[in-house]
């Protein structure tokens, strides 16, 4: 029996937690054998890795090995700056009454600061004027003397802007873009670093460079400097010497400011670097003006500032940083003579490139997803009519030495990099793409390579857009649109463990919810005291149904896929405020309706009110909120919101359903999808609604006409209502609008529009937009047939839809209990289906076969065969 994948608050060995009651999670990879006398265990927390009895802080109550895979700490009060170790014990294992067996791996977590008084450092900034259009980073340096060998060192750091921290010239931040984007007025995340190996006896230099980041950089529709114009830093260094001496120092007015090689930096538009800059006195590698002698009255001086935020909080999510690299596939010359680097894959990240040239040469790196018909990198395709903007671009002034260039404060969406101003020809060994995201252990495969490519495209779009928030695209506004993510959360759970990521996203959402219950259209919203609150655009669109319903749909989806009631408990107040606001406004709310529906011919169809849509979402969110109340034991609320759901669904039917369900609202595909998927119809109306939906799909020659909000619901709605044959026809359609059209057009990510190009063949809108990628959910849940029957995957349904001309298909999904696998093959001549299923320990699955026949199976591998009519 082995306990693995031990996590604290969803993270492996986190450094700097500020949760007083962290949650411990694990997996059990092998079931108890017949020799195991126990099916119970406990969890033990200690200050020592040896778990000596006098160091034990807590031992949990008895845990059911087969039924519980997490427990929350309830021991002695945790202390700041302290490392705690934990393990799982099985009493009496091995026959001896007093013996215990611990988990195969221990884990640990280290606390950050629990009290504001733990912070002794001060916010500082150079004594210079910084305006709205300034984009020059600030370089700061301090020093501390350490008299004895450092036994342990920690740095606690954050900034107004993205920062890099150096200790004695050692970059301890790496490629991470920190701090993460939050509602900065309300809270800013701080990071904790183990700097023990970078410290030394004697004088130690602490240096930090801060660039615009999300604090002062461009935020899409919201413009620049949303949170302020003044960059600032906060750093606290704590050292324990080998003789027990404790030394604490931090940013204060004794620090000094310097110039550095980066002279302009914007999180979206790129940076300008002068490689000729020397010396690096801001790193402490040389000293020409310390501590300020010979400088002007303000030159090099810093001043302390009031805190720019209400609260400092520790990280809860893995940092946005380098996790893997990708080599370029080719380097060619454009008709105009530029070098064009092609990575063969649309990605999100930065480049690492070797630059060699003459002193004072200026090299320009322009990043794009597209090479135009003229053979040049296209920098103007991402809707300049909507938001005129500069391209993603880095500029490097070369010195006489070779430069290994990697932007410090950038993250771009690109497949191609145009290099101008470089005399020497690059080789493919000179360039690497750095992807700043995570990898996945889930997969999908089938006999149609186009569907496999489609799945991979969705993966890459997901990979690139779950950065410091759930961005819609990595090139244009880079905003966390609520409408996009409420559709896509179930799909993201199939690729990654997104629980920590969306826990932070939902906290941001609740923090930015307006007093009337409305939800900003993107999270974070960019609202701040500095700019006088939320923008007019944000206020007007904050009432949009479908978008604001993310406040209800996202926590419910996360509960369903992770069985974590904390998502519902922590967001419950926010969920209620949104539904109550909808109920109050009833049919008066704005719905953005059919965003980028190819059949929405007028702007009114996109933006104006739609009672049919708004009422449907009110009913749907009330239904989910009622269920959430039930899960949390709030019986009165459960009844209240269930009644609201029933009454709203009844009103919707009376207003919009005619002819027994064969005509709904505007008689478009999405009208029927919502009625069926949101359970708004009476049972006797469902067949007529399904039949009409099929008629509309067939009339469109098996194309989608669903618009933005209902695209991901089309295939499961058809299949779950007995028409998986039609769902396959839509899935396999290869003319626009369709998923496979993009694949056949050479896409390596999912696009914002179905076509991706205008009629003249010019690229149009974003080519990395995950929302239409909801189809990947049906590839795994429908085609491969893997879906949860109960929250958290304890009971699993294996029910593949055999069809579409496929001879085989399969998938694996990484669940909280481990990988679930299902693959099938079909002998078309005989109709024989061979199904290969693997169920992780602690789970039970229902395997659905021909004519609805069900076989219940337990953990392990199972081979099942049956016949269907072909």
Q: What is the model's pLDDT at position 278?
A: 77
Q: For residue 221, what pLDDT is reported?
A: 83
Mean pLDDT, residues 853-860: 95
**What pLDDT was estimated at residue 694?**
98
Q: What is the mean pLDDT of residues 647-666?
A: 96
CB count, 10 Å around CB of 252? 15
53-73: per-residue pLDDT in tens?
999 999 999 988 877 889 999
State which fold the 119-314 domain adopts: Jelly Rolls (2.60.120)
- Among the residue ranges 168-172, 385-389, 504-508, the one predicted with the least confidence is 385-389
Q: At residue 715, does pLDDT exceed 90? A: yes
Assigned fold of 321-437: Jelly Rolls (2.60.120)
Is the pLDDT reported for residue 2 higher than 80?
no
Decide if pLDDT at 588 tops 80: no
**Torsion angle of C-alpha atoms 620, 625, 630, 636, degrees rounded to 10:** -110
- Report domain extents, the chain: 2-111, 119-314, 321-437, 469-661, 795-867
Rounded to whole angstroms, the Cα distance separating 413 from 751 reads: 13
How do residues 400-445 score in pLDDT, each as one tens digit?
A: 889 999 999 999 999 999 999 999 999 999 999 999 766 677 899 9
How would DSSP label each residue in 333-397?
E-TTS-EEEEEEEEEEEEEEEEE---TT-EEEEEEES-B-TTSSB--S-S-TTTS--PPEEEEEE
Q: Are strands 412-420 and 362-368 parallel, antiparallel or unpaired?
A: antiparallel
Neighbouring C-beta atoms of residue 571, cutoff 10 Å: 24
Cβ density class 658-671: b for 16+ within 10 Å, e for less: eeebbbbbeebbbb
Q: Where is 744: in which H helix or E strand? A: helix 739-744
Question: b vs e for 6-30, b when ≥16 Cβ sit within 10 Å of the residue's Cβ?
Answer: bbbbbbeebbbbbbeebebbbbbee
Average pLDDT over residues 822-836: 97
Q: Is the predicted pLDDT of residue 182 greater than 90, yes or no? A: yes
Radius of gyration (Cα) for the chain, nearest Å? Answer: 28
Handedness of CA 786, 788, 794, 798 (dihedral sign): negative
Tell me how far the alpha carbon of residue 91 is from its chain's centroid.
40
* φ, ψ dihedrals at 842, nearest 5°: 85, 0
How many C-beta neighbours within 10 Å does residue 297 have? Answer: 6
CB 263 within 8 A of CB 273: yes
Average pLDDT over residues 188-216: 97
User: Where would I find the H helices in 473-564?
Assistant: 482-495, 499-512, 536-541, 550-562
The answer to whether 404 and 354 are in contact (CB under 8 A) is: yes
Q: Within 13 Å of residue 668, how many CA atoms lie on the same side as its CB?
A: 19
Distance between CA atoms of 187 and 190, rounded to whole angstroms? 10
C-alpha span between 659 and 665 (Å, rounded)? 12
Which string of DSSP letters, residue by residue, matches 563-611?
--HHHHHHHHHHHHHHHHHHHHHGGGS-B--STT-TT--SHHHHHS--H
Mean pLDDT of the 456-471 span: 94
Grade residue 95 by pLDDT with cuts at 50, 70 and 90.
Answer: very low
> Which residue did the predictor score with more confidence, 552 or 101?
552
DSSP assignment, residue 296?
-
Tell how far CA 483 is from the center of its chain: 15
Q: Are 42 and 71 in contact (CB under 8 A)?
A: no
Closest to 165 measured CA to CA, from 200, 195, 202: 195
Q: Is the pLDDT of residue 297 over 80?
A: no
Q: Which two tokens stand for residue 824?
A: 């099938």
Q: What pLDDT score does 384 carry?
A: 58
Is residue 189 within 8 Å of 174, Cβ to Cβ? no
Please enumerate in sequence order all residues whose Cβ is within 8 A of that of 795, keeping only pairs 6 or more positions apart, or say none: 788, 789, 843, 844, 845, 846
- Report which of residues 231 and 39 the model is more confident about: 231
CA distance 539 to 590: 12
Q: 385 falls in which pLDDT band (50, 70, 90)?
A: low
Question: Averaged over 812-829, what is the pLDDT?
Answer: 95
- d(C-alpha 311, C-alpha 307), whole Å: 9
Residue 620's nearest CA partner among 657, 583, 656 is 583
Residues β-bridged to residue 397: 274, 362
pLDDT of residue 436: 72
Average pLDDT over residues 725-731: 98
pLDDT average, residue stretch 79-108 = 73
**Mean pLDDT throughout 754-779?**
94
**Residue 861 exposed, middle or buried by CB count within 10 Å (0-12, 13-18, 19+):** exposed
Residue 340 structure tokens: 């064009």
Phi, psi dihedrals of residue 517, rounded to the nearest 5°? 95, -10
Of residues 196 and 103, more confidently modeled = 196
Token pair of 598 as six digits: 């190819």
pLDDT reading at 608 higher than 80 = no
Q: Residues with Cβ < 8 Å from 654, sequence gap 6 or more?
A: none
Q: How far apart are alpha carbons 631 and 284 in whole angstroms?
A: 57
CA 448 to chain centre: 29
Percent of the chain residues past pLDDT 90, beyond the cut: 81
146 pLDDT higher than 80: yes
354-370 pLDDT tens trace: 999 999 999 999 999 99
Asked if 119-314 and 321-437 have one fold, the answer is: yes
Query: What is the reported pLDDT for 855?
Result: 96
Sign of CA dihedral 603, 604, 610, 612: negative
- Please check whether residue 262 is in contact with residue 408, taking contact to mean a CB–CB distance below 8 angstroms: yes
Picking from 365, 370, 364, 394, the residue whose alpha carbon sits closest to that of residue 382 is 370
**Residues 475 and 751 sit within 8 Å (Cβ to Cβ):** no
The full DSSP string for 269-280 is TEEEEETT----
Q: What is the CATH number of domain 795-867?
A: 2.60.420.10
CB 215 within 8 A of CB 227: yes
What is the band of 97 on the pLDDT scale with cuts at 50, 70, 90? Answer: very low
More confidently predicted of 11 and 279 = 11
Q: Is 530 in contact with 228 (CB distance < 8 Å)?
A: yes
CATH 1.50.10.10 correct for 469-661: yes
Q: Tell which wins on pLDDT, 870 or 146.
A: 146
At residue 31, the pLDDT reads: 60
Higher model confidence: residue 173 or residue 543? 173
Give the confidence band of 294 by pLDDT, cuts at 50, 70, 90: very low
Domain 2-111, architecture per CATH = Sandwich (2.60)
679 C-beta neighbours (distance < 10 Å), count: 14
- The percent of the chain in helix, strand and coil, each rounded to the nearest 5, is 25, 30, 45
The β-bridge relationship of strands 83-91 and 339-355 is: unpaired
CA 594 to CA 572: how far, in whole Å?
29
DSSP 708: T
pLDDT at 281: 80
Residue 292 pLDDT > 60: no
Mean pLDDT over the full length of the chain: 91
In the predicted model, what is the mean pLDDT of residues 288-317?
76
Beta-sheet strand order (sheet of 23-28): 3-8, 23-28, 70-72
Position 441 scores a pLDDT of: 74
CA distances from 830 to 11, 278, 281 (A): 49, 76, 77
What pLDDT is attached to residue 32? 56
């Amino acid at each position: 029996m082995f306990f693995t994948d031990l996590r604290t608050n969803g993270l492996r060995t986190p450094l700097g937690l500020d949760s007083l009651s962290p949650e411990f999670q694990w997996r059990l990879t092998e079931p108890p054998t017949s020799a195991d006398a126990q099916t119970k265990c406990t969890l033990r927390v200690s200050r020592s890795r040896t778990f000596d009895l006098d160091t034990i802080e807590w031992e949990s109550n008895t845990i059911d090995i087969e039924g519980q895979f997490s427990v929350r700490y309830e021991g002695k009060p945790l202390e700041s700056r302290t490392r705690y170790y934990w393990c799982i014990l099985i009493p009496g294992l091995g026959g001896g009454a007093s013996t215990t067996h611990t988990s195969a791996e221990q884990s640990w977590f280290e606390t950050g600061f629990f009290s504001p008084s733990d912070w002794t450092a001060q916010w500082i900034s150079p004594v210079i004027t910084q305006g709205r259009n300034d984009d020059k980073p600030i370089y700061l340096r301090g020093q501390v003397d350490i008299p004895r060998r450092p036994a342990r060192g920690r740095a606690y750091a954050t900034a107004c802007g993205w920062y890099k921290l150096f200790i004695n010239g050692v970059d301890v931040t790496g490629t991470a873009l920190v701090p993460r984007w939050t509602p900065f007025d309300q809270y800013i995340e701080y990071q904790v670093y183990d700097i023990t190996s970078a410290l030394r006896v004697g004088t130690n230099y602490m240096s930090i460079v801060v660039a615009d980041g999300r604090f002062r950089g461009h935020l899409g529709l919201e413009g620049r400097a949303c949170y302020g114009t003044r960059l600032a830093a906060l750093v606290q260094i704590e050292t324990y010497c080998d003789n027990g001496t404790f030394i604490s120092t931090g940013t204060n007015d004794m620090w000094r400011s310097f110039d550095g090689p980066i002279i302009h930096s914007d999180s979206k538009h790129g940076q300008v670097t002068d490689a000729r800059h020397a010396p690096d006195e801001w790193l402490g590698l040389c000293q020409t003006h310390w501590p300020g002698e010979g400088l002007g009255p303000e030159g090099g001086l810093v001043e302390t500032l009031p805190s720019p935020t209400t609260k400092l909080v520790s990280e809860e999510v893995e940092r946005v940083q380098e996790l893997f690299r990708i080599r370029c596939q080719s380097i060619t010359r454009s008709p105009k003579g530029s070098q064009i680097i092609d990575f063969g894959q649309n990605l999100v990240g930065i480049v690492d490139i070797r630059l060699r040239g003459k002193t004072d040469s200026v090299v320009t790196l322009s990043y794009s997803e597209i090479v135009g018909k003229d053979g040049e990198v296209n920098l103007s395709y991402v809707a300049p009519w909507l938001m005129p903007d500069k391209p993603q671009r880095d500029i490097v002034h070369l010195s006489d030495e070779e430069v290994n260039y990697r932007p410090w404060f950038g993250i771009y969406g690109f497949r191609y990099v145009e290099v101008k101003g470089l005399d020497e020809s690059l080789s493919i060994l000179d360039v690497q793409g750095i992807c700043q995201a995570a990898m996945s252990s889930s997969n999908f495969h089938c006999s149609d390579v186009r569907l496999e490519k489609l799945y991979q495209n969705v993966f890459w779009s997901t990979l690139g857009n779950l950065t410091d928030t759930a961005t819609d695209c990595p090139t244009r506004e880079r905003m966390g649109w609520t409408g996009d993510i409420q559709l896509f959360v179930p799909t993201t759970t199939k690729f990654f463990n997104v629980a920590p990521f969306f826990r932070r996203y939902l906290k941001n959402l609740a923090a930015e919810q307006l007093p009337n219950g409305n939800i900003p259209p993107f999270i974070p919203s960019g609202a701040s005291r500095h700019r006088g609150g939320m923008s007019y655009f944000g206020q007007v669109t904050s009432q949009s149904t479908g978008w604001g319903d993310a406040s209800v749909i996202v926590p419910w989806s996360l509960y369903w896929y992770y069985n974590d009631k904390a998502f519902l408990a922590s967001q419950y107040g926010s969920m209620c405020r949104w539904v109550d606001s909808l109920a109050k406004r009833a049919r008066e709310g704005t719905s953005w309706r059919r965003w980028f529906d190819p059949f929405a011919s007028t702007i009114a169809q996109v933006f104006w009110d739609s009672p049919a849509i708004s009422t449907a979402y009110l009913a749907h969110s009330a239904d989910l909120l009622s269920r959430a109340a039930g899960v949390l034991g709030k019986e009165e609320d459960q009844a209240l919101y269930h009644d609201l759901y029933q009454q709203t669904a009844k009103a919707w039917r009376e207003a919009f359903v005619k002819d027994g369900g064969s005509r709904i609202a505007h008689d478009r595909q999405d009208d029927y999808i919502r009625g069926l998927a949101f359970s708004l119809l009476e049972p006797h109306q469902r067949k007529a609604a399904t039949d009409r939906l099929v008629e509309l799909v067939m009339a469109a020659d098996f194309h989608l006409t669903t618009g933005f909000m209902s695209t991901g619901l089309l295939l499961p709605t058809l299949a779950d209502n007995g028409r998986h044959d039609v769902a396959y026809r839509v899935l396999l359609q290869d003319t626009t609008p369709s998923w496979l059209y993009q694949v056949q057009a050479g896409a390596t990510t999912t696009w914002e529009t179905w076509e991706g190009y205008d009629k003249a063949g010019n690229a149009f809108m974003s080519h990395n937009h995950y929302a239409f990628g909801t189809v990947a959910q049906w590839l795994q849940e429908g085609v491969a047939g893997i879906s949860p029957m109960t929250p958290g995957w304890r009971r699993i349904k294996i029910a593949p839809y055999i069809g579409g001309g496929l001879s085989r298909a399969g998938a694996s999904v990484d669940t909280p209990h481990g990988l679930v696998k299902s693959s099938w093959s079909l002998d078309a001549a005989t109709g024989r289906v061979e199904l290969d299923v693997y169920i992780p320990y602690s789970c039970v699955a229902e395997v659905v076969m021909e004519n609805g026949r069900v076989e219940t199976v337990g953990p392990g591998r199972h081979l099942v065969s049956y016949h269907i009519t072909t």
